[in-house]
Amino acid sequence: MTPRSNTGPDKPTSGPQFLVLAQIMRSHGIKGDLSIKMLTSFPERMSRLDVVSLTRDPEKPIKQTKHQVVFVRHAKNDQWLMHLDGIETRDEADALRGLYIMVSLEDAIPLESDEIYLFQVIGLEVRTTDGEVLGKVTDIIETGANDVYVVNGTAYGEVLIPAISTVIKDTDVEKGVMTIQVMPGLLPEPKDSPDSEQDAG
C-alpha cells in the first residue's frame, strides 16, 4: 500500500480526526479571497474539496467552523488562493488570518485502493516475510526520494526501513501489521549477538 502524507501535513489531530491542509496567511484583494500556505503534501487535492474546517489550534480543534469552498488555485511556490462561501470582504478575510484549514477524514478526498495516510503507519507492528517481529513503527522520515520508517524493537533496537515496493510487501492497517522483505544489509546485528557485544566493548 502506498502511504499518503498529511504537520505534520496530513497528520491527524487529536480528538475528532482532521487532516491539516494549510494555514491562512493574509487577505488577498478586496473581495474576501485568502492567501494560504499549503501544508499538505498533496495540494492538488485541495481543488476537489467541497467543505473545510477552520481552527486556531489544530492539535485541539474543539472550536472549529465549517465553510463551503468556492475555489482554490495555485499562486506561486507554496502560496495558493482560496475563497470560502460567506467571506466576501477584506475585513472578513483578515479576521481569519493565522487560522488552520483542515478537513475531516470523512470529508477528505478518498484515497486510492492501495493508499493509506502516513499517520496510519505509526504504531504498526513490523514483521519479516519469515514471521520475525522487528518492532513497531515509531516515526517516519520524509526524504526527497522515499519515506523511511523508523522501527524500534527489542531484538535489533532501531531499524530504518525504506518505504519502497521491494521492501514493503503488505500493510494491513486493520490487523496493525506491516510485512517486509529483508534485503541484504537492512538489519543490524541482533543486540544480544556476540558481534554486537564486541562492538559495544
Topology (CATH level 3) of domain 2-115:
Elongation Factor Tu (Ef-tu); domain 3 (2.40.30)
Q: What is the pLDDT along the chain (201 residues), one digit of tens a residue?
A: 444 443 334 444 444 477 888 999 999 999 999 999 988 767 777 778 888 999 988 877 667 889 999 999 998 887 899 999 999 999 999 999 999 998 877 666 666 666 677 777 888 999 999 999 999 999 888 776 788 999 999 989 999 999 898 999 999 888 999 999 999 989 888 766 555 445 544
pTM: 0.58
Any long-range contacts for 128-133 (C-beta under 8 Å, 24+ apart)?
128/179, 128/180, 128/181, 128/182, 129/169, 129/179, 129/180, 129/181, 129/182, 130/182
The residues pairing with 54 across neighbouring beta strands, listed in sequence order, are: 65, 101
CATH class of 121-190: mainly beta
Q: Using an 8 Å Cβ cutoff, are 101 and 24 in contact?
A: yes
Domain definitions of the chain by residue range: 2-115, 121-190
